[in-house]
Amino acid sequence: MWDYTEKVMDHYRHPRNVGSIEDADAVGIAGSLVCGDQLKIYLKIENDIVTDAKFQTFGCGSAVASSSILTEMIIGKTVDEVRKITNKDIADELGGLPPEKMHCSVMGYEALEDALKNYKAEGYVDLDEIKANDEENKIICTCFQVTKKTIIDAIKTNGLKTVDEVTNYTKAGGACGRCKGDIQKVIDEYYNGKAEKEDIKDLTPTQRILKINNIIETQISPELVKDGGDIELVDIKDNDIYVKLRGQCSGCKNSTMTLKLFVESTLKNALGSDINVVEVN
């Protein structure tokens, strides 16, 4: 049995805003019947504000919960605000999802993105942008029809490092597995090329906290748990990242070394920028 949060259970038991909108201003679709989940989202937009949103979902409990909460998150927001919502925001709003179910939140994000892409396209087609998007729209995983862009977005938002993580978040590579090499290439390309240029200062403070926290949760904490300890993010000030060590780690003679060597190098690697890790009690 999955360890779903109360909020996830509440939303699949009582999904909000189910249905369709006849005269919707934007409609977005993600997933397919073959893959085992599909989400359709309908938006009513007036004066640049989302006044209504409805959804229909074919999928598991977390897919329905992600769709349901997404509609709640966007009603009343401006289109620009809605564009900033990521899969992580959806998962966080639900109080978290099991790692194997993160792709459900990604599906919500994709459907939303698809809807807004259609919305923008009304009466305006930017040929240069279409051309630039060709490489991004390349299908990496043919089984689940996952594009390079989807994979890069998931890597960027969630600080993913391994092919398995990409599979958990986007499903890519989850069926025949033939594209695993290509996924590794996308990961390598992202961290070798773009990551070096990307400065975490470019992110909004919230995005930055989320990103750092995600790296700690997915890449650092599991390693420390193996040795009976754990780590918790306390605060971030400029380039200083304050963390608290729990259990076996705190007071351990090696903890300073653990911090300096492992935590810092992992964060530096993932963020591609200079940071200092400070332990607080």
Partner 1 sequence: MADKIIYLDNNATTKVDEKVLEEMLPYFKEEYANPSSMYDFSKNSSRAIREARGKIKDLLNAANEKEIIFTSCGSESANTAIRGVLNYDKSKKHIITTKIEHPCVLNVYKMLEKQGYKVDYIGVNANGELNLDELSHAITDETALVSVMWANNETGVLNPIEEISQIIKSKNKETKFFVDAVQVAGKIPIDVQKAGIDMLGVSGHKFHAPKGIGALYINSKTMITPLIIGGHQERGKRAGTENTPYIVGIGKAAELAIDNLEYEMTEVKRLRDKLEKNILQNIYNARLNTGLANRVPNTTNIGFEYIEGELILLHLSDLGICASSGSACTSGSLEPSHVLRAMNVPFTSIHGSIRWSLSRFTTEDEIDYVIGELPKIIDEITSISPYQNELKALKEMRMVK
Q: Is 104 a catalytic residue?
A: yes
| Near partner 1 in 152-191, by CB under 8 A | 167, 171, 174-175
Q: Which is nearer to partner 1, 154 or 216 (CB)?
A: 154
Instruction: Please tell me the distance from the alpha carbon of residue 164 to that of residue 8, in angstroms, as a whole number.
Output: 24
Question: Is 63 one of the binding residues for partner 1 (CB under 8 A)?
Answer: yes
Q: In angstroms, give the least distance from the CB of 163 to partner 1.
A: 13
Q: How far apart are CA 28 and CA 82, in angstroms?
A: 13
- By residue count, the chain amounts to 281
Q: Which of 60, 104, 143, 249 is labelled catalytic?
A: 104
Residue 56 or 184: the one with the smaller Cβ distance to partner 1 is 56
Q: Does 69 bind partner 1 (CB under 8 A)?
A: no
Of 147 and 266, CB closest to partner 1 = 147
Per the CB < 8 A criterion, the answer to whether 165 and 219 are in contact is: no
Phi, psi angle pair for 70, to nearest 5°: -60, -45
Residue 205 near residue 191, CB atoms below 8 Å: no
Q: Interface with partner 1 includes 139 (CB under 8 A)?
A: no
Residue 59 Cβ vs partner 1, minimum distance, rounded to whole Å: 5
β-pair type (240-247, 229-237): antiparallel
Among 40, 148, 161, 211, binds partner 1 (CB under 8 A): 40
Tell me the residue type at 122: E
* Contact mark string toward partner 1, 235..254, x via CB under 8 A: --------------------
Stretch that binds partner 1, among 94-102, 188-196, 221-229, 242-250 (CB under 8 A): 94-102
Integer Cα distance of 277 and 100 in angstroms: 30
Is 35 part of the annotated catalytic residue set? yes
Q: Which stretch binds partner 1 (CB under 8 A): 5-13, 189-197, 227-235, 266-274?
A: 5-13
Give the long-range contacts of residues 218-223, CB within 8 A, separation 24 or more: 218/99, 218/158, 218/159, 218/160, 218/161, 218/165, 219/159, 219/161, 219/266, 219/270, 220/262, 220/263, 220/266, 220/267, 223/262
Helices (H), 75-229: 79-83, 87-93, 102-121, 127-136, 148-158, 163-170, 180-189, 195-197, 205-215, 221-226
Answer yes or no whether residue 38 interacts with partner 1 by CB under 8 A: yes
Please identify which residue in 10, 21, 49, 56 interacts with partner 1, judged by CB under 8 A: 56
Among 39, 79, 220, 231, binds partner 1 (CB under 8 A): 39
Q: Catalytic residues, which ones?
A: 35, 104
Site of interaction with partner 1 (CB under 8 A): 9, 12-13, 15, 18, 20, 29, 33-34, 36-40, 55-61, 63-64, 98, 100-101, 144, 167, 171, 174-175
